[in-house]
Amino acid sequence: MNAVDLYARRTQGFDAGLARTVALLKDAAAEHAGHIVQATSLGAEDMVVTDLIARHALPIAIGTLETGMLHDETVALIGRIEQHYGLPVEVYRPRQEAVIDFVRSHGERAMYSSLPLRKRCCGIRKLEPLSRMLGERSAWVTGLRREQSNARGEVPERDQDDAGRLKLNPLADWTWGDVWHYIAAQGVPYNPLHDEFMPSIGCAPCTRAIAVGEPFRAGRWWWEDESAKECGLHVMQQEQPAVSMIGAPQ
């Protein structure tokens, strides 16, 4: 059974939600012409957003973070997007010297050692490259949904980040079933790791498959307390929680 068979479930409000999402994207593209980017994680939600951008010929750039620790399947999806949609994907990588220094000082498995080291790794591989992606932009688009976790339960459709940019979350009220219904209906390319029970996919060392009944993001940083399930991309700096390690992989 693949992810489409497993997850695709169209809700009664799907059509209205889709129309609202398209309207949000169109309005943001007009308000921030030439200065808006989709920061795609290459996950299922972001693939829906990319498809809508392409399908409606919206002037929204597409960018992604290639952390150097992604699964091969995730990296391959960048080329699949460019081939399928004929759109370029801006790829932002961590500064090599920062990665080398971090690994030399703390080792390849530093993320399992402590929460501060895991967050430092995310900072080098994600937050700093994101800052370059957003540098000249006044708005960005994400695939955040309220249903993804308790920490995201109040995600607004329109928000502001720490720098005062518009942060658009056009799928905020979509269900996981509707995401996959759209993927199935429109033939949207997606990461094959979703077929292997990985609904939320990040860097390879920090992602595992989930079991039946586990929360959506249980496979992310699974050795940490549940409240730690963020890398910092979608958390206001003053809201960073104090959390503990549960048990790192041996």
DSSP collapsed to 3 states, the chain:
CCHHHHHCCCCCCHHHHHHHHHHHHHHHHHHCCCCEEEEECCCHHHHHHHHHHHHCCCCCEEEEECCCCECHHHHHHHHHHHHHHCCCCEEECCCHHHHHHHHHHHCCCHHHCCHHHHHHHHHHHHHHHHHHHHCCCCEEECCCCHHHCHHHCCCCCEEECCCCCEEECCCCCCCHHHHHHHHHHHCCCCCHHHHHCCCCCCEHHHECCCCCCCCCCCCECCCECHHHCCCCCCCCHHHCCCCCECCCCC
Partners of 70 in the β-ladder: 203
Q: Which of 121, 122, 206, 231 is catalytic?
A: 231
Q: Which amino acid is at 1?
A: M
206 counts as catalytic? no
**Catalytic residue ranges:** 231
